[in-house]
Amino acid sequence: MYELRFGETPPAKRSVEQLRGIEGARVRKMYQFMAQQYKVSWKSRSYDVHDWDTADPINKALSSATSCLYGVTEAAVLAAGYAPAIGFIHTGKPLSFVYDIADIFKFETVVPLAFGIAKKEPTNIEREVRLACRDMFRRTKLLERIIPMIEDVLSAGEIPKPEPAPEQVLPAFTDEKGLGDDGHRR
């Protein structure tokens, strides 16, 4: 996961706690870099879920965008049959594995999008972010990329993939071509 996020091998002989600390420092620097790049005022990543209106626009945009990413990632995790709560980096939360996988995609997808929208200062930043995430997820085919990424992450531990159960019932039919555009109902 570290290699996928940062494009380099993690430092040798580090505990998970130490890797979390290194990751946290890198993420803070990435937020600062994005703020400079997009010319958005940046203090820190902070917001109060009980007092949402006190958050600054960039934190509202980032929270809305990551929420969208977590939703798509959770759908992929569940569709692939994995347990969303069993994480490696994140632990102790109902969506720990979702957060682990979503973090791999976060800085290539929703973080730049959130900064770009915050720069425009729209009236309803949460709505703008949700719509932009929806469009970007479709355009980049993010959902199609998540499950293979999960397989890559899990195979990195060199644990063989479990064989299907003998009593498994396969789908009765396959629909090679959908009936409409992705994400649209007719």
Confirm whether 176 is domain-assigned: no
Task: Note down the domain range covering 53.
Answer: 2-155
Q: Are 12 and 2 in contact (CB under 8 A)?
A: no
Q: What is the pLDDT along the chain (186 residues), one digit of tens a residue?
A: 767 777 777 777 888 788 788 888 888 999 999 999 999 999 988 877 788 887 899 999 999 999 999 999 999 999 988 999 998 888 899 999 999 999 999 999 999 999 999 999 999 999 999 999 999 999 999 999 999 999 888 887 776 777 778 888 877 777 666 655 555 444
Would you state the pLDDT for residue 168?
Answer: 80
Tally of structural domains, the chain: 1
CATH number of the domain encompassing residue 19: 1.20.120.920
Would you state the pLDDT for residue 186?
Answer: 43
Confirm whether 86 is domain-assigned: yes
Confirm whether 49 is domain-assigned: yes
CA quadruple 121, 126, 128, 132: dihedral, nearest 10: 120
Q: Is 50 exposed, middle or buried (0-12, 13-18, 19+ CB in 10 A)?
A: exposed
Confirm whether 163 is domain-assigned: no
**pTM of the entire predicted model:** 0.81
Alpha-carbon distances, residue 67 vs 106, 138, 168, 183 (angstroms): 11, 16, 33, 18
Confirm whether 168 is domain-assigned: no
Confirm whether 55 is domain-assigned: yes
Confirm whether 58 is domain-assigned: yes
